[in-house]
Homo-oligomer: A and B are copies of this chain.
Amino acid sequence: MTGGPVIDGRRLLARLDAFAAIGATPAGGVNRPALGPEDRAARALLAGLGAARGFSPFQDAAANLFLRRAGADDGRPPLLIGSHLDSQPTGGRFDGALGTLAALEVLETLEDHGVVTAGPVELVAWTNEEGSRFAPGAFGSQVYAAGAFPRGWQDTLDNDGARLPDELAATLAALPQAAERPLGRPVAGYFELHIEQGPLLEREGALIGVVEGIQGTRWLEVVIEGQVAHAGTTPLADRRDAMAVAAAVIARLQATVMPADVDARLTVGRLTLAPGAVNVIPGEVTFSIDLRHPSGAEIDRLEAEIVALAGEVAADGGCRASVRRSMDVAPARFDARLVGIVEGAAKRRGFPSRRLFSGAFHDALFMARLGPAAMIFVPCRGGLSHNEAEYVEPHQAIAGAQVLCDATLEAMAGLAAT
């Protein structure tokens, strides 16, 4: 594979610019909410660019958009490569777009070089990965991998009252040239290139992140119940201060969980207390814990530790604690063969790489449930993402797309051999 086709970096960068213009914000970012007019414009542009090279467009019921390049044996399940085109409200130019347009670049490079792959290769642009307009995110890939819509999805509204089913139908209708296809069709494999959205690659001077999997995420809601009392007249022995207990629990967790395990992530991102007056001891505090780890067993262990700690600290403070799960996404381990292919491809191109786990969700998390999957990360400046200042150096974007291209060809070769 050392002599595999070289992608057209200049074309890739031009495409990134063209798509960044759709929903461009004055600060240099992108506002392209899922299924809105800008998202539809981006999908139309992508379909048009594909059609110009003879790649057939398809859509499924979740408005996931596919561009297909046929293989020698076109009856085989396709190898999927891609990402998403929607953005956060004040998002960046690369989150999702880089992986989608790199996939287009791979298809075009194969076309440029007249490469005949053993089976079909398809670009996919998943619907509503961000989840910022319609919750939850990774909607398209979840629905695709599950082969069905989740219960109650029809009632999903955006902040302006628009209904998800209506916006989905309008988005599908806006691309009549794309033939309909069923959800959950088998795939030979899935590769996704994405920005790291974290600081590790940049700090270590790595150009390619070889993603071994995606951390599991469990959201806990902790409620501490104490007793409202007067801040001035209530001596320590009589206090059942829910905020004092909450602070002690959070401080203990912050001092122990992450320092003890470099792979663990624990974040308290929300906290509310009642009644919320300066001179009143809080009777109730509710806070969230976002807990992540590559190992599901470790997440279970940490949750048990949190439940025990909260109960113990609450009892010491005359309060009661309860902990409930509000979300739970199991970790994904990517396919060892595909991960090895990514690592080998980076190595052969001379790109410094390191293995890592993704701390963020991606569509690959759900695609890994359907078939072999892997991801390629490239650095982003300062680890910054979901931010208009999000930035990837041109040579980093090009390197990522090259690894995607090489990995696609090697995976196809391997798939042909099986």
CB neighbours (8 Å) of A292 from chain B are 231-232
Q: How far is the CA of A385 from the CA of B279 in the complex (A)?
A: 13
Closest to A251 in B: B251
A258 within 8 A of B: yes
| Nearest Cβ on chain B to A43's Cβ, whole angstroms | 27
Residue A73 is within 8 A (CB to CB) of chain B in the complex = no
Selected from B229, B236, B383, the residue in CB contact (under 8 A) with A234 is B383
CA distance A265 to B254 in the complex (A): 26
Question: Is there an interface contact between B267 and A231, defined as CB atoms closer than 8 Å?
Answer: yes
A408 within 8 Å of B by Cβ?
A: no
Q: Cβ of A268: which chain B residues have Cβ within 8 Å of it?
A: 243-244, 247, 282
Q: Are A269 and B262 in contact (CB under 8 A)?
A: no
- Please state if B270 and A241 are interface contacts (CB–CB under 8 Å): no
Flag if A385 contacts B197 (CB, 8 Å).
no
Question: Given the complex of chains A and B, what is the CA–CA distance between A118 and B245 in angstroms?
Answer: 56
Task: Decide: B383 and A233 in contact? CB cutoff 8 A.
Answer: yes
CB within 8 Å for A198 and B361 given contacts A251-B247, A276-B270, A279-B269: no
Whole-angstrom distance between the Cβ of A26 and the nearest chain B Cβ? 20
**A231-B265, A269-B276, A359-B230 given; A247·B254 CB < 8 A:** yes
**A271 and B271 form a contact (CB under 8 A):** yes
Interface check A200, CB cutoff 8 A: yes
Is B258 a contact of A197 with CB atoms below 8 Å? no
Closest Cβ of chain B: how far from A332's Cβ, in Å?
Answer: 13
| A215, A234, A258, A279 pick with most chain B CB within 10 angstroms | A279
Decide if A236 touches B258 in the complex (CB within 8 Å): yes
Residue total for A at the interface (Cβ-Cβ under 8 A): 57
Q: Is the CB of A273 within 8 A of B270?
A: yes
A198-B262 CB under 8 A given contacts A247-B247, A269-B281, A273-B270: no
Contact A386 B269 (CB under 8 A): no
The smallest beta-carbon distance between A126 and chain B, in angstroms, is 19
Is A277 located at the chain interface by the 8 A CB criterion? Answer: yes
Q: Which residues of B contact A251 (CB under 8 A)?
A: 244, 247-248, 250-252
Interface residue? A259 (CB, 8 A): yes
**Within the assembled complex, what's the spacing in Å between the Cα atoms of A350 and B176?**
95
Check A361/B280 contact, CB under 8 A, given A243-B271, A251-B251, A271-B243.
no
Residues of B contacting A235 in the complex (Cβ-Cβ under 8 angstroms): 198-200, 262, 265
Partner of A236, one of B259, B278, B282: B259
Select which of B234, B271, B282, B361 is within 8 A of A273 by beta carbon.
Answer: B271
A217 within 8 A of B: yes
Does B358 contact A233, Cβ atoms closer than 8 Å?
A: yes
Q: Which residues of B contact A271 (CB under 8 A)?
A: 243, 271, 273
State whether the Cβ of A108 lies closer than 8 Å to any Cβ in chain B. no
CB distance from A99 to the nearest CB of B (A): 16
A129 at interface, CB cutoff 8 A: no
